């Protein structure tokens, strides 16, 4: 099956600009024979890691789902699209898969989400299509050992990982050259790990570009001068071959085999709950504190914004 990953710029709220570019990428992928095009996490609104993103939220019948349905039907292709969803009670970091007939086959909500901004949901992440079962992991979910283990209990034929993942682009007082190189290899290593262990084909679509200030403790540790959305989108075939992008806005298409995932996949060693080594201080102390503070921030703030949006007859439908 020919699948594509679309690597898009972080449009930071400019949905119309995104839709215009995204259609061009769809046209290009379809001309390459693509049957399924995977867009990044939060692709339509862009990666805005603070509460300003709430004002771009939509219901699952909103502008982004509607546009995705229209494009899937127009180009006779399966599409995967990330957006910020609201059920008018909470906000979710969500991802839809739409059939070439324009049917929304699944609406997956992120589990290991940015708790300052979204409600966390741990639910079935398998979407059934005409060509097989697609597993969907949104960004940080894929990096967690718990998610990996849960995936090992499921039946699926293809694994897609939409991301809005950042990495250092320059060195600083706290970031060395080896850190820049290491973090820019994370998505490649992740794709290889899942593909080799589960013996399946994997597609990772990531965003590129700068992002606005980040809410929470990590926002104080990460400078926008030194970090950016990392790109490095990749299609990693079950055969061991792969095709990848660097830092440009583009789409790539690769023919990969579809195989039922290996349920005897080896279990990686836990690194404070992650699939790869990292700072123990960050993972065991800073991150848990940040998540607790984030949940409290969300609890205090999100309902006021939802009410404001309702008064203005938002979100759009």
Nearest to 67 by CA among 130, 207, 75: 75
Query: Is residue 138 within 8 Å of 114, Cβ to Cβ?
Result: no
pLDDT for res 173: 77
> Is pLDDT larger for residue 203 or for residue 170?
203
E strands along the chain, which residues? Answer: 2-9, 36-38, 78-86, 91-98, 104-109, 126-129, 132-136, 158-162, 166-168, 201-205, 207-209, 227-230, 234-236, 242-244, 250-255
pLDDT (tens digit per residue) in 209-238? 999 999 999 998 887 788 999 999 999 999
DSSP 8-state secondary structure symbol assigned to residue 21: H
pLDDT for res 289: 97
Question: In whole angstroms, what is the distance from residue 186 CA to residue 284 CA?
Answer: 20
pLDDT for res 191: 99
The reported pTM is 0.96
The bridge status of strand 36-38 relative to strand 78-86 is: parallel
Which domains are seen in the chain, by residue range? 2-311 (3.60.110.10)
**Considering all CA atoms of the chain, what is the largest pairwise distance in Å, rounded to the nearest integer?**
53
pLDDT at 78 over 70: yes
> What confidence category does residue 316 fall into, taking pLDDT thresholds of 50, 70 and 90?
low
DSSP 8-state secondary structure symbol assigned to residue 129: E
pLDDT for res 171: 86
């Amino acid at each position: 099956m020919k699948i594509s990953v679309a690597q898009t710029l972080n449009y930071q709220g400019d949905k119309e600009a995104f839709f215009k570019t995204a259609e061009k990428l769809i046209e290009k992928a379809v001309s390459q024979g693509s049957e399924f095009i995977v867009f990044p996490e939060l692709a339509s609104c862009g990666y805005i890691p603070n509460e300003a993103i709430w004002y771009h939220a939509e219901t699952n019948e909103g502008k982004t789902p509607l546009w995705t349905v229209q494009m899937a039907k127009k180009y006779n292709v399966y599409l995967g699209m990330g957006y910020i969803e609201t059920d008018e009670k909470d906000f979710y970091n969500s991802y839809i898969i739409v059939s070439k007939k324009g049917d929304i086959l699944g609406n997956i909500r992120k589990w290991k989400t940015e708790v300052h901004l979204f409600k966390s949901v741990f639910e079935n992440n398998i979407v059934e299509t005409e060509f097989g079962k697609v597993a969907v992991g949104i960004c940080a979910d894929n990096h967690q050992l718990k998610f990996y283990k849960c995936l090992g209990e499921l039946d699926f034929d293809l694994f897609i990982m939409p991301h809005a993942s950042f990495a250092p682009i320059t060195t600083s007082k706290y970031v060395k050259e080896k850190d820049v190189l290491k973090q820019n290899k994370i998505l490649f290593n992740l794709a290889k790990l899942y593909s080799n262990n589960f013996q399946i084909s994997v597609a990772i679509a990531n965003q590129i570009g700068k992002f606005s200030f980040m809410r929470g403790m990590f926002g104080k540790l990460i400078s926008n001068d030194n970090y950016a959305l990392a790109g490095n989108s990749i299609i990693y075939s079950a055969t061991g071959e792969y095709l990848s992008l660097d830092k440009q806005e583009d789409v790539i298409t690769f023919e990969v085999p579809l195989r039922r995932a290996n349920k005897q996949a080896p279990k990686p060693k836990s690194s404070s709950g992650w699939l790869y080594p990292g700072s123990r201080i960050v993972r065991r102390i800073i991150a848990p504190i940040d998540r607790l503070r984030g949940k409290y921030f969300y609890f205090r703030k999100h309902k006021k914004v939802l009410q404001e949006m309702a008064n203005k007859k938002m979100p759009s439908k």
